[in-house]
Structure 1
């Protein structure tokens, strides 16, 4: 059954160490931030020429980046890709590209989707499955889902996209965590009416670069690119993104290494009495009978994890990035 996504207070995100220090002023420094799903082992940034910071980005540099993204994501070509200053910018942009309508978000999921469509004047409901979402004007699904890791098959997504497109609707598929997962992406052949979002910062551990992509059939990709306007992506982001996206070997190694890390984290969670709900190679979500007290114990140890107001027994853990961070987490959980 659908439920209306009504007005809510400010959305709490991971990564807010200011809030962590306010909650736990006596915690040891440095803080270990496990509240995000960002790769803790970042891509080694190439050295950048000063000109990338000094001049306006060139159109050719943007085309080269979009071609690299198309190759990395398996899209048909650069014409199917629109680069943006982060996936969040695209989440905020899409609701402004069509008139008000009915939007169904498959959830619970990343709260910014419902909030952005609501800000755009759309009627937003949260629904439990893709079939119910496809009855709206716009359906939004996160694949794999954040925070439970649920996935959908390519045929199911393509069928929903075709049903929506036949009525002039859209299917928005947020694949922010798909790069390191065995997910059936729609990027290879995005159907009409489908817009796929891909995140750069999470996979490459470079969230501050602010880079993301929309993958869609050329008419939609062209409209998104035009709405973003000129010079939407910074020169340094163009340069770093082009190099990183072309490094398929690094991506394969990162997927394998983060998979081992996720299994290691699962073992720690189980030993602490947690019941694994799901997740991806970059985060794990579990329910605990004493989640509130565990959140406090971790916080006092300088470890910040993600909690959920709507699910008070639930905590989400990002991956530690160093041996010392793993050791501190193991001590706190024990």
Structure 2
């Protein structure tokens, strides 16, 4: 199968690219190379005969048409998106433009290509989204595929809009789509502005480990390589027009997560004195910070037989080990716009 992967130089997209090539798929990586993208993420497959790269913006219809015509993909995996909630608070326009207008342009380019090919039943448009579109949970309950949408941030609102566009193109035009909504990802190549890499790198630098509010916000953590495996499975075996929630089955509060990371660092690279947990600092909470996310993975487990392969403790240790072994990768990214700064405080 030949896959067109948008955002394939990003965190989740690059994991999909690496795994797809390893499994024998041809992959065209379409990425605009904005601030969070890094071609080092796909360096291991860059010279592979099954891999090709196209630098383009999903908002550029002419470029999309050219890429579809040149590469003739069998499927689209749409991961290109602005994804950092704090940045969406400071500058929502980029999120609306990329996540909403960009998804529209990609859908229209894919629809034109699919129709010109005779509307093949085998074609797939796989839209990858987030559990944040469902809003915030209390102490109990889980998001299912039938949970009403209730986005609370500019980021989640833009992703909710893109989800609705994809479903509309399926119902109105018959475009063969599948959709997934995932929980919080973590793992190797995670851009150093998100919680887990911030904690690891600040700990190593002797800086404060910032935790929003009292640290009680709960997330379900999904190892990125498990996520990539699930995405390829849904692409190949998911029911058309159906959505699948992908969770890690690993709920942790932010405070517990940070304490676990500190314990792993204490073991792998101990400080001269004390624990990395001594650097934990509580900071003013993010505006509109959702209290809890949790995914019910029953549909993907029962229909497709998928479950995550690692616990959060195993995945976090692998992640810390990767950052300790790949200092050159993350140091090169620390000078990029906004990295190391507190964002999302302009509300």
| TM class, shorter-length | 0.3 to 0.5
TM-score (norm 1): 0.34
